[in-house]
Amino acid sequence: MIRVLLADDQALVRGGFRMIIDDQPDMEVVAEAPDGALAVDLALRTQPHVVLMDIRMPNMDGIEATRRLTRQRPSPKVMILTTFDLDEYVYTALAAGASGFLLKDLPPAELPTAIRVLAGGDALLAPGVTRRLIEEFARSRPPAAASQRLAALSDRELEVLRLVAEGKSNTEIAATVFLGESTIKTHIGHLLAKLELRDRVQLAIYAYESRLVHPGHAADRDTRAKGEGGAPPQ
C-alpha cells in the first residue's frame, strides 16, 4: 500500500486529492497538513512513501519542508504542486530534493500514476513543463566542475544522460537508442552510482549544470522534428 501525505494550505485542494487517492486500491492518505512545519512532523510519525507538497504555505514553506524531509532516512519522495506559470521558488525546490512536479490543474486520472512513479523509486520528469523548470534552474547557476566525473562515463551512458535530461521515459530512451528497457534501467543505475545522485531529477539537473546539455537544446530538437514532419517527443 502506497502511503501518501498531503501538504497544502487549501483544504479544498487536499480534499480533492484525497478523494482521488482514496479511490485507488493500492494507496491511502495517511495524513494531511496545512503548512510545512506540520507536514514535516506528520511525516516523521506516519512514514509516507510520497508527499504531495505545495510551495507557498504558512509557518514553513514547501521548500524548507522538502529540504528537511529529504534529509530523513528513509526519506519520502516529494512531489511539488505548482501552477503552469514558472514559479521562481520551484527552482529552489529542485535543489532541496524534490523528485517531481505536478500541475494543480492536471487531469485527475494522472495523479495516481504520478504517485506510483515516485513510490516506485523513480522521479517524474514530464517533458515540457519540468524540462523548462530545469533549464531555467540551470541558466541561473554557474557551470559545475563536473568534467572529471563526466569523463568516467561511457559514450552510451552520456547518451542516456542526455535523453534523461530531455525528459524521456525509459521506454522512450530504449526506442531511441535501440536497446531493451531493462538495459536502460541498468545504465541509469550506473549513472546514479557514478555521479552519486539520487534520482532522474538530479541526473537532469547535473546534465544541464555540467553543460552536457544546454538550455534550449531539447526544444531545438523538438522544432527540428516538427520541421521534418515528425512529432515532438511526448
b/e sequence 183-217, b meaning 16+ C-beta within 10 Å: ebeebbeebeeebeebbbbbbbbbbbbbebbebeb
Q: Going by DSSP bridges, is the β-strand pair 27-33/100-103 parallel, antiparallel, or unpaired?
A: unpaired
Q: For the segment 98-126, what is each residue's pLDDT rounded down to a tens digit?
A: 888 777 878 888 899 889 988 887 766 55
Q: What is the pLDDT of residue 54?
A: 92
Q: Is the pTM of this model over 0.75?
A: no
Q: What is the pLDDT of residue 142?
A: 59
Q: What is the pLDDT of residue 228?
A: 39
Q: What is the pLDDT of residue 222?
A: 44
Q: What is the pLDDT of residue 107?
A: 86
Q: What is the pLDDT of residue 229?
A: 39
Lookup result for grid cell 486529492? 17
Tell me the domains of the chain and their CATH numbers. Answer: 2-124 (3.40.50.2300), 143-227 (1.10.10.10)
Give pLDDT < 70 ranges for the chain: 83-91, 123-147, 215-234
